[in-house]
């Protein structure tokens, strides 16, 4: 709906895609708000986007020396506790204050009677509020969504409770990527789009749930992670490769070395089971992934040489290595795969 605002979530280096690069693209794409986790992230954004509304969702009050930085009316700060609300309310100019309600995540915010008492105290002292929010705990994990619906009902209860104390103009937001796609009733006043902003699915269950509802969504990953071969050597059959001698060649082999290891974000669990794509061909990762290097078998790729491009995530020809594929091989999720890419690796925007 046109009245629903869009918060583009760019925390954690834009889920590994490049913090400032993605923020600029999101704003060019008419995002209303940029969402971050920390005050450090918000400060960096503020230096580059002087007046842009920034939603700060993580805990920030352990850094008391940053309090003066919070006097920014375009900071939207998520708050769980009464004393933090009191402090923010005293600032001039003051930031926007968004109250976090725990409806079943058991992370930030409060629930039940404790939440009602906090709301009563906010009203008693006349503290200002600009928004109220919650976060769904398990929408991505199931195709049956009764728990999410229970959370939404609880959120509506607390929203109405706030209204009963005169807080009638609050911005309400609850939905992240999966719940935005699945539950139109959860859109409220703003949606917070994270993983799907980057063309990645929150989960297989989300795709199945959408299919069951007859909803058609198409997502295309925006990230390609590539490197180059930096060294090659020919070795005879029976040669051990890498730390621990965990791989042994069974035929005369040509080995390519790439300057990427687990420090750069290539999961060590890909040792002897992952692969890369070189010149439209799969090249198995052989031996253990090292801290800053990995070895691949390029025996069958005759034209591969020093300087040849190597795809770590992305598509080349008919071959593709997706974040989901890597997640399956390493027993994790695609969020973990992309956010693990070392932040100092250059991110280049291409058309």
Q: Just list the catalytic residues.
A: 11, 243
CA atoms within 13 A on the CB side of 211: 7
Q: What are the residues whose beta carbons fall under 8 Å from the beta carbon of 29, sequence distance 6 or more?
A: 8
d(CA 278, CA 59): 43
Start-to-end CA span in the chain (Å): 28
Residue recorded with tokens 């040792």: 271
DSSP H or E stretch at residue 241: strand 240-241
3-state SS, residue 52: coil
d(CA 157, CA 150): 11
The distance of Cα 142 from the centroid of its chain, to the nearest Å, equals: 19
Residue recorded with tokens 């061909």: 281
Rg for the chain (alpha carbons), in Å?
A: 24
Pair 127, 86: CB distance under 8 Å: yes
Name the nearest CA neighbour of 134 among 107, 174, 97: 174
Name the nearest CA neighbour of 38 among 70, 17, 11: 11
d(CA 60, CA 38): 6
């Amino acid at each position: 709906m046109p009245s629903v605002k869009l918060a583009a979530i760019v925390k954690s280096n834009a889920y590994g895609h490049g913090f400032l690069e993605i923020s600029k693209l999101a704003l060019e794409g008419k995002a209303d708000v940029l969402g971050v986790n920390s005050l450090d992230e918000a400060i960096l954004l503020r230096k580059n986007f002087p007046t842009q509304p920034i939603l700060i969702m993580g805990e920030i009050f352990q850094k008391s020396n940053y309090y003066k930085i919070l006097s920014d009316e375009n900071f939207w700060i998520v708050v769980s506790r009464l004393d933090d609300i009191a402090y923010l309310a005293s600032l001039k100019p003051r930031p926007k204050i968004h109250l976090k309600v725990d409806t079943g995540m058991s992370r930030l915010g409060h629930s039940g009677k404790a939440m009602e008492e906090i709301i009563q105290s906010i009203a008693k002292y006349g503290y200002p509020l600009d928004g109220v929010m919650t976060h769904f705990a398990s929408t991505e994990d199931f195709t049956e969504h009764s728990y999410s619906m229970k959370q939404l009902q609880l959120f509506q209860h607390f929203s109405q409770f706030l209204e009963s104390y005169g807080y009638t103009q609050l911005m309400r937001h609850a939905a992240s990527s999966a719940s935005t796609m699945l539950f139109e009733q959860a859109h409220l006043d703003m949606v917070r789009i994270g993983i799907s902003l980057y063309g990645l699915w929150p989960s297989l269950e989300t795709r199945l749930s959408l299919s069951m509802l007859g909803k058609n969504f198409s997502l295309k990953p925006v990230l390609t992670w590539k490197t180059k071969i930096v060294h090659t050597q020919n070795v005879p059959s029976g040669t051990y490769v890498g730390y621990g001698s965990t791989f042994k060649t069974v035929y005369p082999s040509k080995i390519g070395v790439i300057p990427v290891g687990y420090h750069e974000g290539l999961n060590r669990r890909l040792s002897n089971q992952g692969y890369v794509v070189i010149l439209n061909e799969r090249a198995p990762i052989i031996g253990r992934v090292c801290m800053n290097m990995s070895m691949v078998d390029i025996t069958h790729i005759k034209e591969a040489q020093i300087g040849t491009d190597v795809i770590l995530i992305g598509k080349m020809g008919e071959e593709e290595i997706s974040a989901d594929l890597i997640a399956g091989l390493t027993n994790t999720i695609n969020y973990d795969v992309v956010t693990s890419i070392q932040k100092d690796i250059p991110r280049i925007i291409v058309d």
